[in-house]
C-alpha cells in the first residue's frame, strides 16, 4: 500500500509541475496589451521619482518627485542694555554732624573764639560782636546723611535663544528632456493645456511645477535679561551742618589786635566700600514660548504638459491623486493630443493641437485625412484566436493517432471520427493555475503602472479558460506519449 501511495504521489507531483510549466510557457500571451497607453504609478518615499510616459512610446515625458524632509536649526542673539542698573537699595544707618549755637548772639556763622583774660575774658565782648553782648542760651544744630547698601547690575544685556525643527514631505513635477510642465487644479475655470502653456512651436516654457506639501513644525523661544557682573556697594556719605549766613565783624582792633574769621561748617564722613562678582548672571525669570504649526497644501492635482515625441511636440496632461499626509502622489490618468503642434501649424490651424486637461486622448480631425475604419481584431482577440488555433491544431494532429486518455465525447470532423480530449480533474487544476498566474500578472501591472486596465480584465476572462484547456491538452498528449 505504501508503494502504491508513493507512486501515486509522484504522479500527482508530476501533474502539478507539468501543468505549471505549460501555464508559465504561455503566461506572456495572457498579459500582453499592445495599446499605447500612458504609464502611471505611485511616487513615495520608496520610489521618490515616478517617470510618467504620457503617450506610451517608452520615453519619459514628465517626472513626479516626492521628497521627504526633516531637520532643525537654532540660533542665539544678545542685545546690549544699561551699563549700570540698580537692582536693590536699602538704608542701613545714619551719619550725623552737629554743633552749638547761641541764639541770643549775633555771631551766627562766625567762629567763636576765647578772648584772653587781659582783654576781658570769656565769650562776651562789647565791640567784638554785633548785637547784644549777653550770653543767652545755647542750642544744638545737627545735620544727617543716610548710609546705603546697594546691589547693581553692571553691563546688562538681553539674551535670546530660538530652536526650530520640522518634518514633512513636498512634491513637484519636472519636465523630462526639457519638456514644459504647468500645475493646474481640478476646480480651475480654464483647464486648457494650450492656455497654460504657449503651444507655439519652439517656445521654451517652465519645466517645474509645485504639486504640494505636508509639514509639521515646532518652534521654541527663550529670552532672559542678564548682566556681565554684579556689584555690592556701600556708597560714601557726608553730613554737613550749614550755619545761617550772617555778617561778622572781621575788623582788627588796635586795642586788642583780634581778628574773627568766618565760621567753618561742621561735617562727618563715611568712606563706604564696593565688591564686584564676575558673571554672567540672569536677572529675573526667563520668558519662554513653544509653537506647533502643521499644514497640508495641494498646489496642483493636474499637470499640463508639452512634450516631444518622435521629433514633434504634443500637448498632454497628467491627473494626480495627491495624498501627501501619507507621502504619496499617484498618477491616476493621462491623455494627449495626437495631432502635433507642427502638423496642426502646417495644416493652418494651430488650435487643433490643443487639448483640455481630463479630455481623452484623440486626434483632431484637422490633422488626419478622412479614412474608412476597417474592422480588425484587438490584441486580446488575436491572443484568443491563437490559443484556439493551437488547441485545434494539437487535437487535429493527435486525431490520426490512437484515442487520447480522458476522452468522453466524439465529433465528426470531415470524414474522420475523433474524440475531443477532456479530463475534468486536470482541467480544473490547469484553470486554477492559470488564475493564479493572471492574479500575479495583474499585481505586477498595478505595481508598475499603478492601474489595471479593463481591456486586460475582459481579455483574461475570455482567453484564460482557452489557455487552461490548451495546458491541460498538452499534459494529456505528453501522458499518452509516456504510456
Out of 290, 314, 334, a domain closes at 290
Domain that holds residue 138: 80-159+221-290
Neighbours of 446 (CB within 10 A): 13
Q: Where are the beta strands (DSSP E) in 59-179?
A: 62-80, 84-101, 139-175
Residues 450 and 474 placed together within one structural domain of the fold: yes
User: What pLDDT is recorded for position 189?
Assistant: 62
Residues 381 and 350 placed together within one structural domain of the fold: no
Residues 415 and 468 placed together within one structural domain of the fold: yes
Q: Are 196 and 188 in contact (CB under 8 A)?
A: no
User: What pLDDT is recorded for position 230?
Assistant: 94
Out of 290, 308, 334, a domain closes at 290
Q: Are 469 and 420 in contact (CB under 8 A)?
A: no
User: What pLDDT is recorded for position 100?
Assistant: 59
Is the previous residue joined to 280 through a cis bond, with omega within 30 degrees of 0?
A: yes
Q: Which of 11, 482, 28, 32 is nearest to 474 (CA)?
A: 482
Q: For the chain, how many residues are written? A: 483
Q: Which of 399, 113, 156 is nearest to 256 (CA)?
A: 113
User: What pLDDT is recorded for position 137?
Assistant: 45
Neighbours of 220 (CB within 10 A): 14
Out of 290, 321, 339, a domain closes at 290
Total domains, the chain: 3
pLDDT by residue for the chain (483 residues), tens only, comes to 333 443 444 444 454 554 445 444 444 444 444 444 557 899 999 999 999 999 988 899 999 999 999 999 999 999 999 999 998 899 988 888 876 554 433 333 344 443 444 444 344 433 333 333 344 445 566 788 899 999 999 999 999 999 999 999 999 999 988 888 888 887 766 678 888 886 444 455 688 999 999 999 999 999 999 999 999 999 998 988 775 554 444 444 443 444 444 455 678 888 888 999 998 999 888 999 999 999 999 989 999 999 999 889 999 999 999 999 999 999 999 999 999 988 888 888 888 999 998 899 998 887 776 555 555 557 778 888 888 888 777 777 766 555 444 454 444 444 444 456 788 888 888 888 888 888 888 888 787 766 777 878 888 888 888 888 888 888 887 777 766
Residues 145 and 178 placed together within one structural domain of the fold: no
Amino acid at each position: 500500500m505504501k508503494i502504491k501511495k508513493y507512486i501515486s504521489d509522484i504522479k500527482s507531483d508530476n501533474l502539478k509541475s507539468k501543468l505549471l510549466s505549460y501555464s508559465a510557457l504561455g503566461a506572456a500571451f495572457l498579459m500582453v496589451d499592445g495599446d499605447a497607453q500612458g504609464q502611471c504609478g505611485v511616487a513615495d518615499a520608496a520610489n521618490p521619482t515616478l517617470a510618467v510616459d504620457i503617450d506610451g512610446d517608452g520615453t519619459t515625458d514628465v517626472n513626479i518627485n516626492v521628497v521627504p524632509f526633516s531637520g532643525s536649526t537654532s540660533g542665539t542673539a544678545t542685545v546690549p542694555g544699561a551699563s549700570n542698573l540698580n537692582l536693590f537699595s536699602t538704608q542701613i544707618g545714619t551719619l550725623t554732624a552737629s554743633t552749638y549755637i547761641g541764639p541770643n548772639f549775633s555771631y551766627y556763622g562766625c567762629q567763636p573764639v576765647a578772648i584772653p583774660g587781659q582783654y576781658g575774658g570769656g565769650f562776651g565782648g562789647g565791640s567784638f560782636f554785633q548785637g547784644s553782648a549777653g550770653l543767652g542760651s545755647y542750642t544744638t544744630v545737627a545735620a544727617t546723611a543716610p548710609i546705603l547698601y546697594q546691589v547693581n547690575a553692571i553691563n546688562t544685556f538681553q539674551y535670546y535663544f530660538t530652536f526650530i525643527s520640522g518634518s514633512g514631505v513636498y512634491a513637484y513635477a519636472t519636465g523630462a528632456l526639457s519638456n514644459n510642465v504647468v500645475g493646474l487644479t481640478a476646480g480651475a475655470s480654464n483647464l486648457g493645456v494650450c492656455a497654460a502653456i504657449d503651444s507655439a512651436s519652439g517656445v521654451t516654457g517652465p519645466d517645474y511645477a509645485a504639486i504640494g506639501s505636508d509639514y509639521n513644525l515646532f518652534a521654541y523661544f527663550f529670552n532672559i535679561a542678564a548682566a556681565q557682573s554684579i556689584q555690592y556697594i556701600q556708597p560714601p556719605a557726608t553730613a554737613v551742618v550749614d550755619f545761617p549766613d550772617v555778617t561778622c565783624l572781621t575788623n582788627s582792633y588796635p586795642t586788642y589786635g583780634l581778628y574773627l574769621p568766618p565760621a567753618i561748617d561742621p561735617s562727618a564722613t563715611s568712606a563706604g566700600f564696593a565688591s564686584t562678582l564676575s558673571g554672567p548672571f540672569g536677572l529675573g525669570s526667563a520668558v519662554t514660548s513653544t509653537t506647533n504649526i502643521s499644514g497640508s497644501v495641494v498646489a496642483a492635482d493636474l499637470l499640463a504638459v508639452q512634450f516631444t515625441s518622435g521629433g514633434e511636440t504634443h500637448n498632454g496632461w497628467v491627473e494626480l491623486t495627491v495624498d501627501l499626509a501619507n507621502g504619496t502622489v499617484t498618477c491616476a490618468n493621462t491623455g494627449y493630443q495626437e495631432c502635433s503642434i507642427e502638423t496642426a501649424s502646417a495644416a493652418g490651424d494651430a488650435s487643433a493641437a490643443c487639448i483640455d486637461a481630463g479630455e481623452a486622448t484623440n486626434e483632431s480631425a484637422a490633422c488626419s485625412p478622412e479614412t474608412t475604419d476597417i474592422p480588425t481584431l484587438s490584441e486580446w482577440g488575436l491572443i484568443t484566436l491563437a490559443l484556439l488555433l493551437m488547441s485545434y491544431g494539437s487535437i487535429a494532429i493527435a486525431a490520426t493517432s490512437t484515442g487520447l486518455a480522458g476522452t468522453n465525447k466524439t465529433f465528426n470532423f470531415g470524414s474522420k471520427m475523433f474524440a475531443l480530449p477532456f479530463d475534468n480533474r486536470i482541467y480544473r487544476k490547469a484553470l486554477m493555475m492559470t488564475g493564479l498566474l493572471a492574479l500575479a500578472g495583474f499585481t505586477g501591472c498595478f505595481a508598475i503602472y499603478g492601474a489595471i486596465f479593463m481591456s486586460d480584465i475582459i481579455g483574461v476572462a475570455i482567453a484564460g479558460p482557452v489557455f487552461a484547456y490548451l495546458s491541460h491538452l498538452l499534459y494529456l498528449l505528453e501522458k499518452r506519449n509516456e504510456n
